[in-house]
Amino acid sequence: MAGLLEGKVTFITGAGRGQGRAHAVRQAGEGAKVIAVDICEDIESTPYPMSSWDDLQHTRELAEKAGGACLAVKADVRQRDQLAEAVGRGVAEFGRLTTVCANAGILPLAMGDPQPLDYQDAIDVDLIGVMNTVAVSVPHLLPAGREGSIIITGSTAALIPDTSAPGTPSWPIMGPGGAGYSFSKQTLVTYTKQMALHLAPSGVRVNIVHPTNCNTHLMHNQGIYHVFRPDRPDLADEIAKEDFRPASEAFHALPTAWIEPEEVAELVLFLASDGARNMTGTSTPIDAGCLIKRPNGPGQ
């Protein structure tokens, strides 16, 4: 039997590991050819290591093992010319482009000495990086028509009130980097609607998904752990994963501390498939019920 994405070609940013890798492997398993990119370098303001070239090559190996061809390219989403070269190479090799997963993102929660420009680092990757990804992809997507699908990775932070607005409930801003992350994800909701509207005449769809705490490096680091355990001053120096787990579980209505990248990949797969051909401009949480339980953020 043909896979759900048989004949499709998907461009995935942040594919070295985590959600990006899960998208690459799942979609390859459904017949897609994959153009997988990642920065393969660290970003100083981000307190966890970025994916390496070896990580990206492992994604390629896993995608090929799942049954799909995969081209791995080192590219920084902050550099539009690098993305254009990557997607151009992919289209030259695979013949077309039908799907885009604008997934690359960072959360610069520098511990101890956060810098004002951490805010800009988050915006450059989480917002401008998505816009760059879409910009270089659209000319290649337009010929795909109704097969064309753009899926943006948002966050539950996008659906929680912005603390900069007077009178709104509090969300832990987490310093300049966290503020930039939250701003970027919130802005992407409006961006998704606008791009969906402007691309609708061509048939190309644009949707955004909002994962809750997900089992990746972006979650498993001291910055996030400290946000979720402000009640434990005795853990000020270092918080263990098992100390973070109960607070993260309390964040959700369903009995889970976090979701897995592969679970997000199932939702993204559907949005990439023809089964979602009449869905555009949507904003879909995959949040284990955190937004119905704690609509104003952790601790609220």
Residues whose CB falls within 8 Å of the CB of residue 216, separated by 6 or more in sequence, listed in order: 17, 18, 19, 261
Residue whose C-alpha is closest to residue 149's, from 208, 190, 228: 208
Is the sign of the CA dihedral 244, 176, 159, 162 positive or negative? positive
Whole-number Å distance between alpha carbons of 147 and 151: 13
105 neighbors 24 (Cβ within 8 angstroms)? no
Catalytic residue among 48, 181, 191, 225: 181
Helix boundaries (H) for the chain: 18-29, 53-66, 80-94, 118-123, 129-141, 175-199, 222-228, 241-250, 261-272, 290-293
In the residue annotation, 181 being an active-site residue is answered as yes
144 neighbors 96 (Cβ within 8 angstroms)? yes
- In the beta sheet, which residues pair with residue 151? 101, 207
Degrees (nearest 5) of the Cα angle 164, 169, 172? 70
Residue whose C-alpha is closest to residue 150's, from 38, 278, 15, 11: 11
Active-site residues: which are they? Answer: 181
